[in-house]
Amino acid sequence: MGKRIVITGASTGIGAALARQLGLAGHFLVLSARHEAELLVVTGQIGSGARAVVGDMTRRANVTHVRDEALRLLGHVDVWINNVGRGITRPVLELTDDDVDEMIAVNVKSALYGMQAIVPHFIERGKGHLINISSFLSRVPVASYRSAYSGAKAMLNALTANLRMDLAASHPGIDVSLVLPGMVATDFAQRALGGPPAGGLVMATPAQATGDVAREIIALIRQPEAERYTNPALHDIVRRYYNDVGAFEGGKKPG
């Protein structure tokens, strides 16, 4: 039997690829995003198993509306995926107040509002799965011009972990997961605040296709766990970084 799943930020990129794969697998979806035309293209590709609810997830009232519409359309929600995100191309010393506010609103508050909207429903049912989409950059500073984005995603990591700890003893049927993609082949850089970086981003691992990331998230839905790197090589890079931060940042391989 298909699960009832909500995906925010579902009009492009990882969200759209995930929606298409879940729809093909027979799940029932409510998809949300700000841009109606793009969102309707995705729901049209999926067919009757997906419904669109347009909304800006940086506004709490819009998130509540998406939750209410999902419950009306689906009856209940099994999985809620906070996928909204936006990057920035600005080093630390050039950040403005508006830059930081935008990064927090899009990458933290949208997910916080989603958590606060849906988890009471999960508590009432005694089960559910919350998935927050973060970034490898929240762990390792290999793209310093993404400074405020990385910091916002690091805050999302902390909120996710603390919520998981809060629920672990009292509501063991509720799973809280964090997904950490690396570089993904999307228009993320073009949509970033400040535009794409000069010269592009060079990472130790190649960019993943959105479909590959989506398959990792679907595997997580089937078998929940606390954290999942969509590219397994990234986990090893994070381990090397935290094993010896100074050596890693100095370009030396930690011993």
Active site residues: 149
Q: What are phi and psi of 177, to 5 degrees?
A: -125, 150
- Chain position carrying tokens 């290999």: 142
Nearest CA to 211 out of 189, 196, 230, 225 is that of 230
Give me 26's structure tokens.
Answer: 């027979």
In the chain, % helix, strand, coil (3-state, to 5) comes to 55, 15, 30
- How far is Cα 42 from Cα 215, in angstroms, rounded to an integer? 17
Nearest CA to 156 out of 171, 137, 170, 128 is that of 137
Amino acid type, 21: Q
- Contacts for 6 with CB less than 8 Å, ≥ 6 apart: 29, 30, 31, 32, 66, 67, 70, 77, 79, 80, 81, 118
3-state secondary structure at position 53? strand
- Contacts for 215 with CB less than 8 Å, ≥ 6 apart: 21
Radius of gyration for the chain, computed over Cα atoms and rounded to the nearest angstrom: 18
